[in-house]
Amino acid sequence: MKLAQIVATLESSDESLCIVAKRPWSGDSEAKLVAFTEEFRISEEVLANGYKYFLEVSVAVDDVLTGPVALSAEQRVAAVIYYAENDAYPEWLNELWSGQ
């Protein structure tokens, strides 16, 4: 599955899951939703297949995608990737939200 496909359906995904994706991160990156281990880690099997921790579903939905303005599919992917890489909102998203 592609990262963009996962981002498109995040609101209906189990919020206890985590997104993992293969780098470099883009909408076309191979990605999947996985459960954390009991130690709240990504399983060794997933890591051995080249996936890296990306973001928890709950963080992506609650902190990035829930805002005063609906985002396009491309904006959703860009915002989630930026947040995953920087632990912050992209400037364009701050400007979009503050304009409302």
- Condensed to tens digits (0 to 9), the pLDDT of residues 13-32 reads 999 999 999 999 999 999 99
30-55 pLDDT, tens digit per residue, is: 999 999 999 999 999 999 999 999 99
- Cα separation, 32 vs 30, in Å, equals 7
Contacts of 81-86 with C-beta under 8 Å, sequence gap 24+, read 81/3, 81/25, 81/26, 81/27, 83/55, 83/59, 84/25, 84/54, 84/55, 85/25
Helix, strand, coil shares of the chain as percentages rounded to 5?
A: 45, 15, 40
Q: Which domain covers residue 49, as residue numbers? A: 3-98
Instruction: With 0.75 as the threshold, say if the pTM is over it.
Output: yes
- Domains: count for the chain: 1
Q: Would you call 24 helix, strand, or coil by DSSP?
A: coil
